[in-house]
Chains A and B, each alone.
Chain A
Amino acid sequence: MQRRTLLQWAASCATVLPFQRLRLLAQPRELTPAAIATLHEVGATVLPASLGAERVRGTVDMFVQWTRGYREGVAMAHGYGHPRLQKTGASPVPAYMMQLAALEAEARAKGGRWSSLDLDTRRALLDAALTKANVRALPPRPMGQHVVADLMAFYFRSSEANDVCYSAMIQREVCRPIAVTIQRPKPLR
């Protein structure tokens, strides 16, 4: 094979190789330990401290589990009234990794670890990050726009958070006997 022919053959292969797929395959599917560590630090800021450190930590761990359970390209509910087909998007993990790395870098630029910054500084950094990601409201559930908004949605949209907010055992969408629902919800223990 002549050198020019080889180059032409290589060039033509390049046009048909699934580089997009290769790029996706090369991307992380799971949060790295470093990213998880940053997430725990951020979680202590964005989740209610009144839950206690253990529950905050547990909530972050459950969110990490959520990222592991994410599946790409799965059909989503097509709706009622004006139905349309939609599929779940690419895994949010690569974006999460970049967002967490950016927060960590911003914190270092401000002089230290995330947890060592004062609340106003942390708020300013989070505000800028969410604004940059075009997050305007708390998502109805984790939607992949920004890891911080998604972590907050993961908790604040939960049945558990609803109970904490109302200080009552409502147990929204938790399997339970109908008889439980006819009474005023018991105070949260």
Chain B
Amino acid sequence: MTHETDICIIGGGITSAMLAQKLSELRSGLQVTVVEAGRSIFDTQNRGRYRERANDYGEHPWHDDYIEDQQAAGIISMTMAVGGLALHWGGACNRFSEEDLRLKSIYGLAVDWPIEWNDLERYYCEAERRLNVSGAPSAYAADARSQPYPQPPIPLSYNLQILKAWAEKSGLKFDGLPMARNLTPFGGRGACCVYDTCGEVCPSGARYSPDFTFRQLMEPKKIVLHDRTLVRRLVLDDRRTTVVAVQGVHQDRPTDPVEYRAKTFVIASGYCWSSHLLLLSSNSRFPNGFANSSGLVGRYMNGHKFINAIANIDDQTFPGQNMTHSLISREYFRCPTDKPFVRHDTRVWESSAGRDPRLRAPDGKLLLGDELMADWRSRTKGSSVRLRAYVDVHPSADSRLTLDASKKNRYGDPMPKIEHAFDALTVAREAATRAHVQGVFDTMAKASNGRIVNRSEGDYLDHPGGGCRMGTDRASSVCDSYGRTHDHENLFVVGAPTTPTGGCTNGTLTFVALTLRSADEIARTFPRA
């Protein structure tokens, strides 16, 4: 079966939703078709019940949101469904800083992004508006904004008020984390009721979720969404380097290939499946895969490391008020050029770590009934505080996504394998970076008679991106700043894969901002009738 459309978007996550929404506004006459491998999970009315089952029985609130044989080694989530990982993201919407775009110019590290900060900042504002972000202006003047947040900040819980006062004794300034969470109903979604399960499922829809956007676009037929359809190959024009079609299969009709013919193709499949599709699409003219004349598709896979700690302090809090909200300091987003390079955010959460009910006393005695309650209560004086820093680390070219011939899906396609690696300078400063972050945590802990009682480090990179990095030089990048691939004029890649480096704070808002910028370019350059 062949479908004709104007713009074909491959992938159905948050960047796809934002792109489809904006294209439908800018070029309402164009037919936009979104093709997603996973299924649509649109039964919003059941999410309260799913949340209860998740809390009570550990059941997954997103039924069948994965495809068992379409998985990657090194991936951080198995979710493959309309809405993607943003079905169950926390909603954190903090911006990168100008330093992320100028690492080479300022510090002689990694690469610069081919975008001016002021240009990206405009799109941050647009992303915040579309996601209805709730936030406070940063306490740091360098984080100046051209527009206010669309919503006031999420009010700090009593606990976070206490922790803010504590944390700021270190000299760092903290704000509530900006979040895509409705304080009042907006965009067909409800207001926040502090269910406190943003990262699993939000029954009210207050935390932005792309499935709402897709439904709102589909019902008035502004776009067409084909779910459960896995795109397996891009197809080239016989003589030119333009892409003429994508080919795939619907899950229910595996022997009946489906083809989408379009004038423009946009890969919005996230950090893993975007590079994967390009590599899978190799042919005799592009034996290393599409868009890969630089050899960099699947390389420079990025993300940020994270360092955690738990502090015990004397100030009293009451765990459970709003555990998914947090504080952020952007103090170390900017590193003086005459100091050793280190960049990271600093986050603070209320916590009950070490203060939860326990079955046995330290001497091993089994605690029963009121004994257990008394033991628990005796450990609730003061507070536990969860600390975390996302650390700016830079990928090497060997930070790769490759095709693993030993693992194939039902159609015989090799599955991706992601192995992260850092450049030599990142490796060289690793110990100093760790010492710096631990020092910041130690300094914070000193207030309120505090001390660090637990330290740990993440063993994966969070908010991964890369694999199709953008740049001005076609020899050292896969696409331009709009995501247009250097090798194929009508093929775009958007969002996380295009980022050259992973920053030092949550990436989703940046992925969306970059995509909205791409949308302008796609709409502007799409031929008018």
Residues of A in contact with B (beta carbons under 8 Å apart): 45-50, 66, 69-71, 74-83, 85, 88, 119, 122-123, 126-127, 130, 135-138, 141, 149, 152, 156-157, 159, 161-162, 164-166, 168, 170-173, 175-185
- Contact call B192/A178, Cβ cutoff below 8 A: yes
User: What size tier do the contact residues of chain B reach?
Assistant: 35 or more
Residues 149 to 167 of chain B near chain A (Cβ within 8 Å): 154-158, 161
- Contact call A85/B68, Cβ cutoff below 8 A: yes
Among the listed B79, B192, B318, B462, which residue makes an inter-chain contact with A170, where contact means beta carbons less than 8 Å apart? B318
The reply to whether the CB of B524 lies closer than 8 angstroms to some CB of chain A is no
A-B contact pairs, 20 of them (CB 8 A): A45-B369, A47-B369, A77-B61, A78-B66, A82-B460, A119-B368, A123-B366, A130-B359, A141-B58, A159-B320, A164-B373, A166-B319, A166-B377, A170-B319, A172-B196, A173-B55, A173-B320, A178-B155, A181-B194, A185-B318
Give the Cβ gap from B88 to chain A, nearest Cβ, in Å.
8
- Contact call A49/B370, Cβ cutoff below 8 A: yes
Contacts of B376 in A (CB 8 A): 156, 165
5 extra A-B contacts, CB within 8 A, seeds A45-B369, A50-B373, A77-B60: A156-B372, A156-B376, A173-B55, A173-B197, A179-B155
A27 to B194, CA, bound (A): 41
CB nearest to B368 among chain A residues: A46
- Contact call A69/B322, Cβ cutoff below 8 A: no
- Contact call B372/A83, Cβ cutoff below 8 A: no
Give the Cβ gap from B186 to chain A, nearest Cβ, in Å.
15
Contacts of B61 in A (CB 8 A): 77
- Contact call A71/B59, Cβ cutoff below 8 A: yes
Shortest Cβ-Cβ A-B pairs, 4 listed: A172-B320, A175-B193, A156-B357, A181-B157
Among the listed A77, A177, A185, which residue makes an inter-chain contact with B158, where contact means beta carbons less than 8 Å apart? A185
Give the Cβ gap from B393 to chain A, nearest Cβ, in Å.
16
Contacts of A79 in B (CB 8 A): 77
The reply to whether the CB of B64 lies closer than 8 angstroms to some CB of chain A is yes
A71 to B50, CA, bound (A): 13
The reply to whether the CB of B78 lies closer than 8 angstroms to some CB of chain A is yes
Among the listed B78, B158, B197, B368, which residue makes an inter-chain contact with A184, where contact means beta carbons less than 8 Å apart? B158
- Contact call B158/A183, Cβ cutoff below 8 A: yes
Give the Cβ gap from B179 to chain A, nearest Cβ, in Å.
12
Contacts of A74 in B (CB 8 A): 57, 59-60
Residues 112 to 166 of chain B near chain A (Cβ within 8 Å): 154-158, 161
Contacts of B460 in A (CB 8 A): 81-82
Residues of B in contact with A (beta carbons under 8 Å apart): 54-61, 63-64, 66, 68, 75-79, 154-158, 161, 183, 192-197, 199-200, 203-204, 318-323, 356-360, 366, 368-370, 372-373, 376-377, 380, 458-460, 462
- Contact call B318/A168, Cβ cutoff below 8 A: yes
- Contact call B322/A178, Cβ cutoff below 8 A: yes
- Contact call B372/A152, Cβ cutoff below 8 A: yes
Contacts of B359 in A (CB 8 A): 130, 135-138, 149, 152
Contacts of B183 in A (CB 8 A): 178
Contacts of B156 in A (CB 8 A): 182
- Contact call A88/B59, Cβ cutoff below 8 A: yes
- Contact call B64/A75, Cβ cutoff below 8 A: yes
A165 in contact with B192 given A81-B460, A173-B55, A185-B158 (CB within 8 Å)? no
- Contact call A175/B194, Cβ cutoff below 8 A: yes
A69 to B458, CA, bound (A): 36
- Contact call B366/A127, Cβ cutoff below 8 A: yes
Give the Cβ gap from A45 to chain B, nearest Cβ, in Å.
6
Give the Cβ gap from A166 to chain B, nearest Cβ, in Å.
5
- Contact call B58/A88, Cβ cutoff below 8 A: yes
Give the Cβ gap from B233 to chain A, nearest Cβ, in Å.
26
CB nearest to B200 among chain A residues: A77
Contacts of B357 in A (CB 8 A): 138, 156-157, 161, 165
Give the Cβ gap from A170 to chain B, nearest Cβ, in Å.
4
- Contact call B77/A75, Cβ cutoff below 8 A: no
A184 to B370, CA, bound (A): 25
- Contact call B196/A173, Cβ cutoff below 8 A: yes
- Contact call A49/B194, Cβ cutoff below 8 A: no
Give the Cβ gap from A176 to chain B, nearest Cβ, in Å.
6
Give the Cβ gap from A148 to chain B, nearest Cβ, in Å.
9
Give the Cβ gap from B190 to chain A, nearest Cβ, in Å.
11
A137 in contact with B358 given A126-B366, A178-B192 (CB within 8 Å)? yes
- Contact call A181/B369, Cβ cutoff below 8 A: no
Contacts of B318 in A (CB 8 A): 166, 168, 170, 184-185
- Contact call A162/B155, Cβ cutoff below 8 A: no
CB nearest to A179 among chain B residues: B155
Among the listed A48, A81, A159, which residue makes an inter-chain contact with B369, where contact means beta carbons less than 8 Å apart? A48
Listed residue (A75, A79, A149) with the most chain B CB atoms within 10 angstroms of its CB: A75
Contacts of A130 in B (CB 8 A): 359, 366
- Contact call B77/A177, Cβ cutoff below 8 A: no
- Contact call A141/B319, Cβ cutoff below 8 A: no
- Contact call A46/B369, Cβ cutoff below 8 A: yes
Give the Cβ gap from B316 to chain A, nearest Cβ, in Å.
9
